[in-house]
Structure 1
Amino acid sequence: MVACPTCDTLHRLSDVPQGTKARCRRCHAVLMTPRAGAMTQIIMLSATALVLMVAAVAFPFLDLSAAGLAQHSSVIDTITAFSDGLLLPLSFAVAALIVVLPTVRLCAVIYAIAPMAIGYRPARGAEAAFRLAQNLRPWAMAEIFVVGVVVALVKIAGMASVALGPAFWAFIALVLVTTLKDTFMCKLTVWKTLEERRNS
């Protein structure tokens, strides 16, 4: 039995052909959307997002210059900016929300889906890994960080000269790739495939 995520109506789902959609009989919300090759696409997008995360952390993020003074910053500088005194917990929160949790979520998705994408049985603990990935989704806030940076740039653009570094564009690409990955992923299809492959 599957509950509709919108209206909680229970459904007994049968096999849904690839390329079609199963909708709620009450509110017509989409329940399942199996796609051919979706797991491979999800793995490739997740791996790409991990590479972009490394680039976003490793490379310069912003260069600011005003009145002859220049300031170079990176994501690490952002995290450590609050590392003194009572603001230390804020540094841990920033690191967790924009780097650690998104990275853990991507790794969990790859661990849960990659063996099935190449035709093997799910890895041990795949269900727990996929559940972790879904539970972390509201807390992985790399996209919120990018929106905040853009808002800040609009406000300081008239006071200083701003040069965007490679890490800024890596974060933009990371947000786009992660959004595309979430679009391709049908949670119910993944859960159903995990159950079927585990019992086969």
Structure 2
Amino acid sequence: MSDSLSSSRAAPALICHDCALRLAPPAAPRGHWFCPRCGARLGSRHRLRTQAVLALAATALVLWLPAVSLPLVYVDQFGVGGSVSILSSVAALFQERHGLVAAVVFVTLVLMPPAQMLALLMAMARLRAGGRPGRWLWWYRQGREWAMPEIFLLGALIATTELGGNASLRLGTGLFCLIGLVVTRWIAEGLADPAALDRLLEQRRREAGDDGRH
């Protein structure tokens, strides 16, 4: 069951992290919540599992380097063979003087995915240790807007299908690592539920306030 949220002054405010709309937490004990203005998924009543998110973020970081450096596909056309990787694609774009496109590809595929997962890893590690995530959580949420490995993966799969009729293709290790990176990142983002994070942070703030009064 999916429930949209409506604004309310009587209940504690819930803030959409995409459009900053202030909302009242829903009364429904189950289901997922969506912002009525922008449609962003706000979360659910699920409990935040920091250990699982930690493991997934660490796995994504391990997969990142081989995903961008190892060949995605090996191409053999008319007796001429070669391989394509994300880093070689960025270098080729720079060499062909498509600097803006190369910069966008570098930021969204090479730089932001590991930065986002590192921020999530640090935020979850601090939460698990009983602390507060500080700016790490903010960096993680910003990284969600710029990290787009799934877009490149979709394009690579489409290009592989198109080239298959004119050349001999062999899938490389980098492609499987990229698939693993996309899947683990997707699951980690799903488990790092915004509403669950906000509830845990609010609980930590209340605990800190109680300790201060005592």
TM-score normalized by structure 1?
A: 0.81
> Equivalent of 2:65, from 40, 54, 68?
54
1:2 pairs with 2:14: yes
CA–CA separation in structure 2 for the residues paired with 1:87 and 1:23: 41
Counterpart in the other structure of 1:67: 78
Q: Any idea what SS the aligned residue of 1:72 has?
A: strand
1:40 pairs with 2:47: no
> Equivalent of 1:121, from 103, 128, 131?
131
Distance 1:144 1:131, change over 3 A: same
What one-letter code is carried by the residue in structure 2 that aligns with 1:196?
Q
1:175 Cα deviation from its structure 2 partner: 1.0
Q: Is the 8 A contact 1:61 1:167 kept in 2?
A: yes
Q: Is the 8 A contact 2:74 2:171 kept in 1?
A: yes
Counterpart in the other structure of 1:192: 199
1:172 Cα deviation from its structure 2 partner: 0.8
CA–CA separation in structure 1 for the residues paired with 2:131 and 2:82: 51
Question: Unpaired segments of 5 or more residues in structure 2?
Answer: 1-12, 209-214
Report Cα offsets for 1:10-59 as digits up to 9, x if no partner. 31689x98xx55858x9xx9754354561111111111111111221232
Identity %: 24
TM-score normalized by structure 2?
A: 0.76
What one-letter code is carried by the residue in structure 2 that aligns with 1:121?
G
Counterpart in the other structure of 2:149: 142
Report Cα offsets for 1:109-165 as digits up to 9, x if no partner. 111121212x3212xxx3322122112213211000000001111111100001111
Counterpart in the other structure of 2:119: 108
Aligned-CA RMSD value? 2.9
What one-letter code is carried by the residue in structure 1 that aligns with 2:142?
N
CA–CA separation in structure 2 for the residues paired with 1:23 and 1:37: 15
Counterpart in the other structure of 2:182: 175
Q: How many residues align?
A: 190
Counterpart in the other structure of 2:3: none
> Equivalent of 1:11, from 24, 28, 37?
24
Q: Any idea what SS the aligned residue of 2:57 has?
A: helix
Q: Any idea what SS the aligned residue of 1:83 has?
A: helix
Q: Any idea what SS the aligned residue of 1:138 has?
A: coil
Q: Any idea what SS the aligned residue of 2:98 has?
A: helix
What one-letter code is carried by the residue in structure 1 that aligns with 2:130?
Y
1:181 Cα deviation from its structure 2 partner: 1.2
